[in-house]
Homo-oligomer: A and B are copies of this chain.
């Protein structure tokens, strides 16, 4: 595909006007001021359009689209025990497939090319992601609620199998990660064994860390004054490439541990506000040299996958958290949304618009009133764009979404089947 005479954000997230960008197979083949030689297929006119690398959603539970808006205005414990857990106890393979496919459709609409997922039924998640054409680092979080020996646990057995079947599938679009749900839902023996297994299998780790003050305080009580970050580091959880979701409650030493261990902080600003968990000090995360990425968390605590909104919320809450209107610039926010997430996922040839990188591209329209005038294009993207100003999403060189149309997903069917699966689960709960 050849994007002709278009404004771009280059690999440094700097604005370049009147550019030509060509893709060949799954890669970016050309970026330049002049028309490239050769035939790249379809030509896309860049008038009133802005092209940049797509977004990386560093923390999600995609199939929870099934529960969008289910259990609102409840305190956390009621919400979990009266809504989420009963619903999840009835989940089926089919429900997870359709819920994930709907999430992929929503993700593509809002420019997300790749997601770090943490949910049940990995094979069904993988199938939906493969069908959608998107990328995903899939994991199933280990929760310890019985005395079953480590190797007998279903998540452990599943991880060994799905690693063989799916890791690297579809030209690398699918990756399999290990996952520990959290400090407070596991024990030291299991955490250490999972860390060892991640090393043995050479996979990334995804883990929830210090989402609430209660978790932070209780962890210190349980573990000789050690914070969740210190405790998980001691268990070896950070010894393979790790994404630590949330990190709202950190002490000074925690930042140093995260940097030294190369851990990515995946901040979930909307979810943390909605559940009143607090605000991650992302300005400090950046100042301390820790890699920052952005996640949506699930739509039950968001309730959308509108990544433009997530980036804006990140930039906004960072300022009030730091008490400084200059904290977290648009460029820093966009880096976290792109390269920061690609680093977290171990996708080294993604997250930057660069010749030879994967062609994961989004195009935004700028002929709408909210995108004009343009004193500062980066500010307009972060603060002024509406999620649906994104008009094209390409993954690995394939256009998956364009002008409201999906190329790989029958959206009416995805909505219908997701709603049917939801109703079946509600019926089985007697609702």
Contact = CB atoms under 8 A, between A and B. Distances in A.
A414 B371 CA distance: 13
Contact of A75 (B276, B317, B325, B330): B325
Interface in A388-416: 388-389, 411-412, 414-415
Contact of A373 (B68, B110, B320, B325): B68
Q: How many copies does the complex hold?
A: 2
B375 A69 contact: yes
B327 A375 contact: no
Contacts of A243: none
Interface in A348-391: 367-370, 372-377, 379-380, 383-389
A373 B329 contact: no
Nearest to A103: B369
Contacts of A367: 412, 415
A143 interface: no
Contact of A376 (B70, B109, B326, B419): B70
A105 B369 contact: yes
A240 interface: no
A59 interface: no
Contacts of A74: 325-326
A266 interface: no
A324 B383 contact: no
B372 A415 contact: yes
Interface string A60-102: 0000011111101111100100000000000000000000001
Interface stretch (A26-34, A134-142, A305-313): A305-313
A322 interface: yes
Contacts of A76: 325
B418 A373 contact: yes
Contacts of A313: 313, 316
A114 to B, nearest CB: 17
Contacts of A329: 72-73
Contacts of A67: 375
A267 interface: no
Interface stretch (A49-57, A184-192, A257-265, A296-304): A296-304
B276 A306 contact: no
B379 A273 contact: no
30 contacts: A65-B372, A65-B373, A67-B375, A68-B379, A69-B380, A70-B375, A70-B376, A73-B325, A102-B372, A103-B369, A106-B368, A106-B369, A106-B370, A109-B368, A109-B370, A274-B325, A275-B319, A276-B320, A276-B327, A303-B380, A303-B383, A304-B383, A304-B385, A305-B370, A306-B370, A313-B313, A313-B316, A369-B411, A369-B415, A386-B387
Interface of A: 65-70, 72-76, 79, 102-103, 105-106, 109-110, 270, 272-279, 299, 302-306, 309, 312-313, 315-317, 319-320, 322-327, 329-330, 367-370, 372-377, 379-380, 383-389, 411-412, 414-415, 418-419, 422
Given A65-B369, A270-B316, A303-B384, 7 more contacts: A72-B379, A303-B379, A303-B380, A304-B386, A367-B415, A386-B387, A387-B388
